[in-house]
Structures are given as structure tokens and as C-alpha cells.
Amino acid sequence: GAGVSQSPRYKVAKRGQDVALRCDPISGHVSLFWYQQALGQGPEFLTYFQNEAQLDKSGLPSDRFFAERPEGSVSTLKIQRTQQEDSAVYLCASSGSGRGTGELFFGEGSRLTVL
């Protein structure tokens, strides 16, 4: 497709389960970002890739969160042993230029609910 694609759109997990969220960026986009957005809040930075290199993971809230982009295209955000506070919308965004000009193209997000 032409846009950023995220799956699943909705995920309900029991506390303690592992989840994996997938992001398929716009073809050819070098930069890929993951954000966490709680209800009524702005997107909180999690991690950033340039091609397959994870340049910044300072926003990952704990070692239960892990992200990868092994071939510089599709990315996966994995959350182990989910907790209720992990409930949020997880947004993936890609940017065409390695310069990271700031025009982020967002996917529709993956809404995670942890029971």
C-alpha cells in the first residue's frame, strides 16, 4: 500500500502475555519511529531506526520492550510480560529522508488493551 501499515489494529492481552506489533513503513523510507500514546496525551517517543540501525532506544520504558528492524524495512515492537500500564495506542511512523526532516507519516496505530 501507499501508507504506513500497522497490525494488529486492536490487541487484547492478559497481563503477563507477550505481544508483538508490526509496522510496515512506506517503501523506501529510511527512518522509522515508534511512539506510545495514552488517552488524552501526546505521542511519547519509544525508539528510532535509520535503516536497520536502532539509533535511539532511550524511550523504551523497561527491558520488557524490544524493537527490531532486521532488514531495514518492516519493524516489530515486542512487549514481554505485559502490564496494565502498557495499555495504549502504539504508533509507528516513517520518514523518507535519512535527514529526518520531521515529516512523519503515521500508521493508524495498534491499540493494546491489557486486562
Partner 1 sequence: QKEVEQNSGPLSVPEGAIASLNCTYSDRGSQSFFWYRQYSGKSPELIMFIYSNGDKEDGRFTAQLNKASQYVSLLIRDSQPSDSATYLCAAQRSSASKIIFGSGTRLSIRP
**How many whole angstroms separate alpha carbon 79 and alpha carbon 95?**
24
106 binds partner 1 (CB under 8 A): yes
Residue 1 CA, chain-centre distance (Å), reads: 18
The beta-strand segments (E) located in the chain are 5-7, 10-13, 19-24, 31-37, 44-50, 53-56, 65-68, 75-79, 88-95, 105-106, 110-114
The residue (of 37 and 76) whose beta carbon lies closer to partner 1 is 37
Under rule CB under 8 A, residue 101 binds partner 1: yes
Report if residue 52 touches partner 1, rule: CB under 8 A.
Answer: no
What is the spatial distance between Cα 85 and Cα 108, in angstroms, rounded to a whole number?
21
The answer to whether 25 contacts partner 1 (rule: CB under 8 A) is no
Among 1, 28, 42, 70, binds partner 1 (CB under 8 A): 42
Quick one: which of 5, 22, 44, 73 contacts partner 1 (CB under 8 A)?
44
d(CA 29, CA 75): 12
Site for partner 1 contains 27 (CB under 8 A): no
What is the SS3 assignment for 109? Answer: coil
Residue (17 or 51) nearer to partner 1, CB: 51
List contacts with partner 1 (CB under 8 A).
33, 35, 40-45, 48, 50, 55-56, 58-59, 91, 98-104, 106-109
